[in-house]
Chains A and B, each alone.
Chain A
Amino acid sequence: MVEIKTADELNKKFLREGMWPTIFCNGCGHGVVLEYTFWALEELGWDMDNVIFASGIGCSSRLPGYINADGLHTTHGRAIAFATGIKAANPDFNVIVFTGDGDCSGIGGNHFIHAARRNIDITVIMINNFIYGMTGGQLAPTAPLGSIATTAPYGNIEHPFDISNLACALGANYVARWGVSHPYQPIKSLKEGLQKKGFSLLEFLAPCPTAYGRRNKLGDIKKHWAWYDNNTILKEDYEKIMKYGTEEEKAQVKDKMQLGVFQDIQKSGFFESYEKLVNRLKEKETKTKGAKK
């Protein structure tokens, strides 16, 4: 195998021909998440014939279209349910779902919580940009309080959804949240999540300068990206400051969004348990047959 060293080589290997240009705007974070995913897959060395992508509706859900692999671009919010079926048909597949905050935590919330609860062996990569970008900037369930959206012209008064926190509560095997301006931790984390048996969620905070940044006066693309760096903090740092920091330090980080691995456990995944069930039935039947003889 030729070792891939540059992003160009990586793209040549993983991108699907004939789908360019992408639909993404300048300054969008989605391409970065795709690139991280490619690096993770490259480092894992998986056979791409066996990696299946599913997605719903929204900007992030267009990502599978750019990947040279099987991809199912489904209906709004339903990708995780479709992915459950794909994995059920052949548990040897590595199934990856690309979804957005609206797709996953809004219309698709029910499928998300039940897939996490069942510990379905899929990896969900949720790109959270606080907004319905594709449809022009409507309010998302993840939008911070006060956010301006076309459907919240006077500021958002709803409390935002913390989807990683929810996934932890549901007992998902692997839950992590990252940004898009520091590649090493997220790529390492993606590898962990992809390899994990059971449900894994990787949430990415990604800028949407067009629909969110512009409306919320977060400045140009550069400033908008910097806003994420200034408003996020590594989970470990956050915990340290909250434990040992001064009141002033605590006040500074209190409202920042935490990044890091929030959950990494080994509960039995759905298909592992299902296989055990099938084998248990087989054994029981063999025993009964033996007894009759």
Chain B
Amino acid sequence: MKCERDPKRIREVLGKKVQFILGDMACVYGGLLAGVSFFGGYPITPASEVAEGMARMLPRVGGTYIQMEDEIGSIAAVIGATWGGAKSMTATSGPGFSLMMENYGFAVMTETPCVIVNVQRTGPSTGQPTLGAQGDMMQVRWGTHGDFEALALAPSTVQECIDFTVEAFNLSEKYRNPACVMTDGEVGHLRERIIIPDEKDLKLINRVTATIDKKKYIPFTNSQTRKNCKVPDFATFGTGYRTYVTGLTHNEKGFPATDKQPDHERLVKRITEKITDDADKLVMVEKINLDDADIAFVTYGATARPAESAMEIARKEGKKVGLLRLKLVWPFPDKLITKLAKDVDKIIVPEMNLGQIVHPVKEVACKHCEVISAPKIGGEMHLPMELYKYLEGK
């Protein structure tokens, strides 16, 4: 039978309210709190602990865990499970994420909510499996072919691994688009104190299911029950709506319509605009000491931690340094970064790659201030003093 979210049972399985756990495990907790009932995964360092945690906990809340044959199968099963009525997720790292790209696009095209946790490592290829990096920040945005919008969160702490996994489900359900938790090997393998949020503090957003008369239902068009909403009402399988779902360009009824320009444009514009229309609402950042700052770090994920330390050192010395931490990296907060660029002289973007998110920063900021990339690769985090040096112009 179908698995229904049981808040009491979930908390029984999760255990004590305050715990000291691994970042990867926190993604499991977040998933369970959000009501995940299907997890399909494949072992990969440094993300395997997510699958292991799910294998242990999911059967105890009545959900289904399957170790699939590869990451292609994992994301496929996850999408299938969503259409079967479940909230579903998977977890992987760089190489697995690369394998998921095709069906990541399928999820976008078929407007299938699902969550992918990417505990990032570096590449190209197998790279350094056991070490953290931020190697897929652009892959999540551009990795699958064609035009689409990404929803990607980057936790900096273990607590945020819980909170952002819940948030990823919320965004995914709200926009009917896959959402990714772009954590990394550093945060994924970090142990920290976490507090499991109470049920009353947990804000869960669930898909708007189709309720309209079955003969009037149109599966791939603006919502038929909400005004000015480009997200269609969701008729999952078995609800009697008999929806046909295809990754081909389809008309509003869901039938293949592959040879006419207007059909494709209408579809792809709607599935991107449903997110870009809300771009201003979709800003999740943390601002520290930005009011009077001359120099700002723009950062995300694990890298925010040494950047914050570098900022504190500089502040003690009277330097006006601030920090903007992107919690939701995609959609990219263009307006906010533009405003910041007008307020400061210099933006420094530390990343555990050779420069990825620095590019969208430059795209909007370079007219107004200097933008410097502060890359570090090889599986070691930036030291605060390394970043401090960038404040002095290297």
A18–B244 alpha-carbon span in the complex (Å): 12
B124 to nearest A CB, angstroms? Answer: 23
Nearest residue, chain A, Cβ from B255: A19
A89–B256 alpha-carbon span in the complex (Å): 26
A183 to nearest B CB, angstroms? Answer: 26
Interchain pairs with CB closer than 8 A, number: 155
Question: A81-B68, A87-B84 are contacts. A70–B243 as well, Cβ < 8 Å?
Answer: yes
* Contacting pair B255 A86 (CB below 8 A): no
A82–B82 alpha-carbon span in the complex (Å): 10
Question: A68-B242, A81-B73, A278-B59 are contacts. A75–B255 as well, Cβ < 8 Å?
Answer: no
Which of these binds chain B: A47-55, A143-151, A216-224, A256-264? A47-55
Nearest residue, chain A, Cβ from B2: A90
Nearest residue, chain A, Cβ from B1: A92
B377 CB-CB contact with A under 8 Å? no
When distances are taken between beta carbons in the complex, the residues of chain A under 8 Å from B245 are 70-73
When distances are taken between beta carbons in the complex, the residues of chain B under 8 Å from A278 are 59, 62
When distances are taken between beta carbons in the complex, the residues of chain A under 8 Å from B172 are none
Question: A74-B247, A111-B69 are contacts. A49–B80 as well, Cβ < 8 Å?
Answer: no
* Contacting pair B85 A85 (CB below 8 A): no
A88 CB-CB contact with B under 8 Å? yes
A152 CB-CB contact with B under 8 Å? no
* Contacting pair B247 A52 (CB below 8 A): no
* Contacting pair A88 B72 (CB below 8 A): no
A68–B245 alpha-carbon span in the complex (Å): 12
> Would you list which residues of chain B between 227 and 247 have a CB under 8 Å from chain A?
237-247
Nearest residue, chain B, Cβ from A92: B1
Partner of A89, one of B38, B62, B240: B38
> Would you list which residues of chain A between 73 and 100 have a CB under 8 Å from chain B?
73-75, 78, 81-93
B65 to nearest A CB, angstroms? Answer: 9
Q: Give 16 pairs: A residue, B residue, CB < 8 Å, sorted on A.
A: A49-B238, A72-B80, A73-B256, A74-B79, A74-B80, A75-B102, A75-B103, A82-B83, A85-B81, A85-B86, A87-B84, A88-B80, A89-B83, A93-B84, A118-B66, A281-B60
Binding site for B on A (CB under 8 A): 16, 18-19, 48-50, 52, 54, 64-65, 68-75, 78, 81-93, 110-111, 113-114, 118, 274, 277-278, 281, 285
